[in-house]
Amino acid sequence: MTEFAAHETDYEVVEGEPAELLGRNLNSAGHLLASATAFFFLAFLFAYFYLRSLNNAGLWHPKHVSPPVTLGTLVMALTVLSATLVRLGVADQRAARRPEWRLKAAIALAVGIGAIVVQVVAWTTMGFGPADGGYASVFFGWTAFNILFIVGALYWLENLLATAIRYRNVPVGADPKPGHASGDPGRPGHDIGNPLSLVRPGLEALSFYWTFLAGLGVLAWVVLYLL
C-alpha cells in the first residue's frame, strides 16, 4: 500500500516505456480505426443500393451521367500499388534494409499523391455534376470522402518516412540531440533513447490500415464503376 504513495514519478517513466508498448497501442488503434472507417463507408454503400432500388422520379441514373471509368480505375490501381509498396517496405524495414524501405516508402507516397491528382482531374473533366440525381450524389460523396481518408493515411506515411530520413545516419541505439523527440530543442534533458525503434510499430500499423483503405477503394471502384 505504501509503495503506491512513494513519490511523484518523473518523465523518464513514460519516455522510457518499451517500444513494444507503442507497438501494441498502434496495432490495436489501427484495427479499431479500420473498423470505424468500414462503418463510415457502409453508409455510402447503403445509400447506393437504397437510392438505386427506389429510383425516385426516375432520376437515379439519367442518361448523360457517365462515370469516368478509366480515371476511376487509375485511382484505384494507384491506391492499391501504393499500399503494396508500403507492405514491401515493411519487409525491408524488418530486415533492417533501411535505404531500400525509405525508397519504397517515398515511391508509395508519390503514387498515393498521384491517385489524388487523378481523382481531382476526374472530377473536373467528367460530364455531370453533383446535382444530377442519386448516382451522381453517391459518386461525389463517396469519392470525396475516400480521398479525404487517403490524405490522412498518406500524412501518416510521410511522418514515418520523415523520421526515417531525419535519423538515417543515427546508428540504432545511439542517442539523438536533446529535445529532438518533442521537436522542441528548448526542452532540457533526453527524450527517447532510440527514435528509430519507434518507426516500425507505426509502420506496421500503417501498412495494415493503408491496405484496408485500398481494399475499400477497390470496393468503391466495383460499386461505382462496374455495377
Partner 1 sequence: MSTTVVETHRPIWRRLIGFNLLTGIVFGVVGYYIGWFIGHHITGASVAYFSGIDQNDISVTLGYLLGVGGFLIGLGFGVYPWARIRGYPPSLREKETQGASRYFGLCTDHKVVGIQYMIGIGLFFFIGGLNAMLIRVELLRPASQVFPAGQYLTLVGMHGTMMMGIMTSAILGPFANYFVPLMIGARRMAFPRIESLTFWLLMAAGAILTTTIFFGGFPTGWTGYEPLNSQANTGMDSYLVFFALVGISMCLLGLNMLATIITMRAPGLTWSRLPIFCWGVVSTAILNLLAAPVLIAVLGMAVFDRTVQTTFFNPQGGGSPYLYQNLFWVFGHPEVYILALPGMGIVLEILPVFARKPLWGYRLAVSGLLGVTLLSWLVWQHHLFVSGINSDLRPFYMLSTELISIPTGFTFLCGLMTLWRGQIRFSVPLLFSLAWFFNFLIGGLSGVFLSDVPSDVTTHGSFFSMAHFHYTIMGGLVFAFFAAIYFWAPKMFGYTLNERLGKIHFWVMFISFNSTFAPLFAIGFLGQPRRTVTYAQHLQFLNDWVSISAFILGGSMLIFLYNFVYSLLFARIRAPQNPWSSVSLEWQLPTPVPLHNFDRIPVITGEPYGYGSPGIAAIPAAGPAGGSA
Residues 103-162 that bind partner 1 (CB under 8 A): 129-131, 133-138, 140-141, 144-145, 155, 158-159, 162
Q: Tell which positions 69-88 bind partner 1, by CB under 8 A.
A: none
Closest C-alpha to 122, from 44, 67, 82? 67
Q: Which of 17, 95, 99, 127 binds partner 1 (CB under 8 A)?
A: 17
Cell numbers placing 4: 503506491
Residue 101 binds to partner 1 (criterion: CB under 8 A): no
For partner 1, the closer of residues 57 and 227 by Cβ is 57
Closest C-alpha to 93, from 202, 213, 194, 173? 202
For partner 1, the closer of residues 75 and 164 by Cβ is 164
Alpha-carbon distance 19 to 84, whole Å?
A: 25
Q: Which of 86, 122, 154, 199 binds partner 1 (CB under 8 A)?
A: 199
For partner 1, the closer of residues 70 and 155 by Cβ is 155
> Taking a C-beta distance cutoff of 8 angstroms, is the pair 216, 88 a contact?
no
Residue 54 binds to partner 1 (criterion: CB under 8 A): yes
> Taking a C-beta distance cutoff of 8 angstroms, is the pair 168, 98 a contact?
yes
Residue 177 binds to partner 1 (criterion: CB under 8 A): no
Contacts of 61 (CB under 8 A, 6+ apart): 52, 55, 133, 134, 135
Alpha-carbon distance 123 to 77, whole Å?
A: 17
Minimum CB separation of residue 114 from partner 1 in Å reads 20
Minimum CB separation of residue 77 from partner 1 in Å reads 25
